[in-house]
Every structure is written in C-alpha cells, then in structure tokens.
Amino acid sequence: MSILVVTAVAAEADAVVAGLPTSVGLTVAAVGVGPVAAAAGTARRLALAEAAGRPHTAVVNAGIAGGFVGRAAVGATVIGASSVAADLGAESEEGFLSLDDLGFGTPTVVTADPALLAALRGGLPDAVVGEILTVTTVTGTDASTAALLARRPEAVAEAMEGFGAAHAAAEAGLPFVELRTISNPIGPRHRDGWQIGAALSALTAAAPAVGALTAAR
C-alpha cells in the first residue's frame, strides 16, 4: 500500500517523519491550513503520483487538534471514526442547518475506512476514537463549544483540514482516515496554555502506527 500522509504545516509533517523508520514507504506532505487547502493539496499530490505511474492507494490526514473537555485531554491521540464538515451549512431561526438538512445532496461526513481505522486502533490502543470536526474558524467560546456538541454529540476533537483531505480521497476512490494529537482544550481561547510541543511529540510517538498501515490491506 502506498500511503499519502497530509498535514497542515511543516512542523506536523516533520513530527510524523521523525517517528517513521526510513524504510517505510510513505509520502508525507504539508498541504496548508484549512479544508480548501487540504482538499486542493491532497488532490494535486494524488494526481501527480498517478501521472508518474506511482499512484497512492490510501490517504491519512495527520496533525494536532483541539480536544473537547472530558473526551480528549491535552496530549491524547485521537483517531477519527469520521471526519465532519461541522460548519458547512446555513444559519436559521431554528438553528444551524447542514448541507444534509438543506437537501443539497452533498455529504458533510466522511466515514473512515474500516480497515485503516481498525489497524490504527490496533497500533494505538489508548487512542480516543470518535468524530473529528473540521471547522474554518477555531472554536473560542463556551457557547460555541456547547452548540457544536449539541449538533455533533459524538465529537471528540476539532481541526481544520480533515474533511477537505477526506473529500479529495473520496473523489479519487481511496480509503481515508484522520489521526490527531491534542494540543489544547476546545473553548475560550487561552493560547498561552496550548501545549503544541507536547502534541507534536505525541504525533511522533503515533507515527509508527501510521507506518504500519502500509501492510494493513
């Protein structure tokens, strides 16, 4: 299996590479922040690999994230059972309406590939498994945190790229899974309390399980 691992920024890519044996056949690339950059960057790398005659056969989105308090603590590793476009939709007097609610026919949830999910769970038995939300604005208040959880009660973490990368993988007909490590609790924004270094170290520690996915199918 030839796996493309996409991250938002170079520091995340470096953290993944630091935990991989040199013999593992993975391509790790930073594709930018946000779902649009993730979708475009993932699609471009998939197309280039196919054109070169070395097509990828699976996609992993890896990086750091915020964790919902009581569900994914700072330093924890999280595996996405699904990646959700949590703020893609419309406001209404009755509350938020997703694209599914609006009847646009475009799914806002991409379910992780069962084989990749099972393999990561086997390699990371202490990881938290649940929905990882993709947002375009990082949640920064108690009210918005509560609103997200009311809409997505299975959510454990939020980041900004998962759904974009997942959509690109789905368009290419490839299996996908999202892996995150937690740098901060979701809620009021206290940047001084974020533990980005610890989350990157946790990402390095989780990387061997990603490398083992090359033999998962």
Side-chain-side CA neighbours of 145 within 13 Å: the count stands at 16
DSSP label at residue 214: G
Distance between CA atoms of 77 and 174, rounded to whole angstroms?
24
Q: How confident is the model at residue 39 (pLDDT cuts 50, 70, 90)?
A: very high
pLDDT attached to residue 105: 62
| Tokens representing residue 187 in the block | 């809620």
Domains contained in the chain, CATH given: 3-215 (3.40.50.1580)
Contact 60, 3 (CB under 8 A): yes
Q: Kindly indicate the confidence band of residue 194, based on its pLDDT and cuts at 50, 70 and 90.
A: confident
Question: Above 70 in pLDDT, residue 145?
Answer: yes
Neighbours of 48 (CB within 10 A): 12
- Nearest CA to 80 out of 113, 48, 105 is that of 113
Amino acid in the structure at residue 185:
P
Identify the pLDDT of residue 202: 97
Which residue type sits at 130?
Answer: G
Q: Which amino acid is at 187?
A: G
pLDDT tens, residue by residue, 61-83: 999 999 999 999 999 999 999 99
Q: Rounded mean pLDDT of the chain?
A: 91
pLDDT average, residue stretch 4-25: 90
pLDDT tens digits along 8-18: 999 999 999 99
Beta bridge partners of 180: 63, 78
Among the residue ranges 99-113, 136-150, 161-175, the one predicted with the least confidence is 99-113
Stated pTM of the model: 0.92
Q: Which of 199, 196, 160 is nearest to 37 (CA)?
A: 160
Tell which wins on pLDDT, 216 or 167.
Answer: 167
In the numeric block, which tokens belong to residue 104?
């646009």
